[in-house]
Amino acid sequence: MMRKILVIGAGKSTSYLLDYLLGKAKAEKLEITIGDINPAAIPSSIAQHPHCTVIALDIFDDTLRQKAIKNMDLVISMLPARFHITVAKDCVRLKKHLVTASYVSPELLGLDKQVKDAGLVFMNEIGLDPGIDHMSAMQVIDRIRDKGGKIILFESFCGGLVAPEHDNNLWNYKFTWNPRNVVLAGQGGTAKFIQEGTYKYIPYHRLFRRTEFFEIEGYGRFEGYANRDSLNYQEAYKLQDALTIYRGTMRRVGFSKAWNMFVQLGATDDTYAIENSERMSYREFINLFLPYSPTDAVELKLRHYLKLDQDDIRWDKLLELNIFDQNKLIGIPNATPAQALQKILEDSWTLKSDEKDMIVMYHKFGYELNGEKKQIDSKLVVTGENQTFTAMAKTVGLPVAMAALKILNGEITTPGVQIPISKEVYEPILKELEDYGVNFKEYEIPYLGYNPNSIVN
């Protein structure tokens, strides 16, 4: 008997996901239906696969959406996170398993009792970050606890970057996932974490000036800035005894200090629309945030505002983005500053068809065992193949696909709205990911405590 999976949304993160499921479709007796608002954009190699059906699906069309879900055994939602709840409610009512790569929202968690009562698995946060970070962290944490150890420090950083061979701009960065999320990074509220037993809070306007530094063997030096609320993981990972809990985003050294220029300028604001933005030039956009002067050029005003010397590398980074171009237009009606900035950045930071991205993840575990403090560093580097088969798509899509198949095969059975922190989930998926080149390297080193190279400016 054929098992039916509905994949809603076929964006950038689904190339490996769909390849994995279709590659196993015959042996596993799978029928894959892809529902997307723009079915014509799905490659023919996928759309014409004998085990694949492509349908036009507008998730705001209740009748069409519910009809599609009703005929399935499991639904994978690759929609933007805010739309998962709509799909989830249908899955509860129609008794279908659900898999997403997004953070669990309070609304989704509110369905937990109904999901458990129906014997369903709603697996969330099973992509990269969140996802592989959960699984790889819990694997080490559980191993330490099984030996009788106590976790006293946990730090975790992850970044989607450009591969070294295509790292050819001054920012050492290109978009490897949703550009909008990059522009809005850090705006979800004050960053919270614990460092050496002290609670720390970083407001958005200071976020990119407080960074940690670390080395990844063979790939050089990186920096990290704090994610929104690291304290969420205190309960999930059972880290009540930990003196340090710190999660963050990784970039190449110098990115955060340069990005902070846009934050201080106000160019990342997404709360209001700009008049006449459609016909506004890049130069006019930058000038919006600067004082009026009948004589000073935009360049001079910006340097004064940001206190930049002409020999400051940050100035060269701004020039590289062509932000003073008078001829290039924003071209977006009623754009917010963040939307306008995204348009400018996409000119310079979009991966070319033959360029590769890179995922870097770094965990640090400090623990006590038999009265002695110890430390394990765990590091992951994954490089993409090209613009379509990216490292981001691999590390997001493969765990989603693997979890979906293991749910259908009865290997993951614990019901409820959940994240992948149990051995039932992480052990088989991490083991299978190794076959696809997703391998962590662990290093046992002397206990260092909190990062002594952190800076506060």
Residues 6+ apart with CB under 8 A from 304: 296
Q: Where are the beta strands (DSSP E) in 111-258?
A: 121-123, 150-162, 191-195, 198-202, 211-216, 220-226, 244-252
Q: How far apart are CA 456 and CA 454, in angstroms?
A: 7
Token digits of residue 360? 């870097």
The alpha carbon of 104 is separated from its chain's Cα centroid by a whole number of angstroms, namely 14
Q: How far apart are CA 125 and CA 101, in angstroms?
A: 5
My answer on whether omega of the bond before 130 falls inside 30° of 0, hence cis, is yes
Token digits of residue 417? 């709205």
DSSP H/E element including 67: helix 62-70
Per-residue confidence at 451, pLDDT binned at 50, 70, 90?
Answer: low
Is beta strand 244-252 parallel, antiparallel or unpaired with respect to 220-226?
antiparallel
5-9, 205-209, 285-289, 452-456: least confidently modelled range: 452-456
Judge contact between 283 and 325, C-beta under 8 A.
yes
Of the candidates 438, 354, 412, 404, the residue with the CA atom closest to the CA atom of residue 14: 404
Q: What is the DSSP string of 85-106?
A: HHHHHHHHHHT-EEEESSPPPH
pLDDT value at residue 457 = 40
Query: Has residue 455 got a pLDDT over 50?
Result: no
Query: Has residue 453 got a pLDDT over 90?
Result: no
Residues 6+ apart with CB under 8 A from 188: 228
DSSP H/E element including 53: strand 52-56
- CATH superfamily ID and name for 3-123: NAD(P)-binding Rossmann-like Domain (3.40.50.720)
Per-residue pLDDT, averaged over 116-133, amounts to 96
Query: Has residue 330 got a pLDDT over 50?
Result: yes
Q: Where are the beta strands (DSSP E) in 281-425?
A: 357-369, 372-383, 416-418
Looking at residue 383, its amino acid is T
pLDDT single digits (tens) 273-323? 999 999 999 999 999 999 999 899 999 999 999 999 989 999 999 999 999
Q: Is the dihedral of CA 390, 219, 161, 427 positive or negative?
A: positive
pLDDT value at residue 177 = 79
pLDDT value at residue 10 = 87
pLDDT single digits (tens) 343-387? 999 999 999 988 999 999 999 999 999 999 999 999 999 999 998
pLDDT single digits (tens) 201-215? 999 999 999 999 989
Q: At what angle do helices 313-320 and 255-265 cross, to 10 degrees?
A: 70
Per-residue confidence at 388, pLDDT binned at 50, 70, 90?
Answer: confident
pLDDT value at residue 349 = 95
Q: Which fold has domain 132-258+353-391+435-446?
A: Dihydrodipicolinate Reductase; domain 2 (3.30.360)
Percent composition of the chain: helix, strand, coil (DSSP 3-state, to 5): 35, 25, 40
Query: Has residue 132 got a pLDDT over 90?
Result: yes
Per-residue pLDDT, averaged over 5-34, amounts to 94
| Bigger pLDDT: 189 vs 389 | 389
Looking at residue 54, its amino acid is V
pLDDT single digits (tens) 247-264? 999 999 999 999 999 999
Judge contact between 33 and 72, C-beta under 8 A.
yes
Per-residue pLDDT, averaged over 407-416, amounts to 97
Domain ranges across the chain = 3-123, 132-258+353-391+435-446, 273-335
Q: Which residue has the tokens 């592989």?
A: 132
Residues 6+ apart with CB under 8 A from 426: 134, 135, 136, 138, 139, 420
pLDDT single digits (tens) 94-104? 999 999 999 99
Token digits of residue 321? 């983005």
Of the candidates 445, 365, 439, the residue with the CA atom closest to the CA atom of residue 398: 439
The model scores a pTM over 0.85: yes
Judge contact between 32 and 53, C-beta under 8 A.
yes
Judge contact between 377 and 363, C-beta under 8 A.
yes
- Report helix, strand or coil for 193: strand
DSSP H/E element including 135: helix 132-146
Query: Has residue 105 got a pLDDT over 70?
Result: yes
Per-residue pLDDT, averaged over 78-90, amounts to 94
Judge contact between 117 and 405, C-beta under 8 A.
no
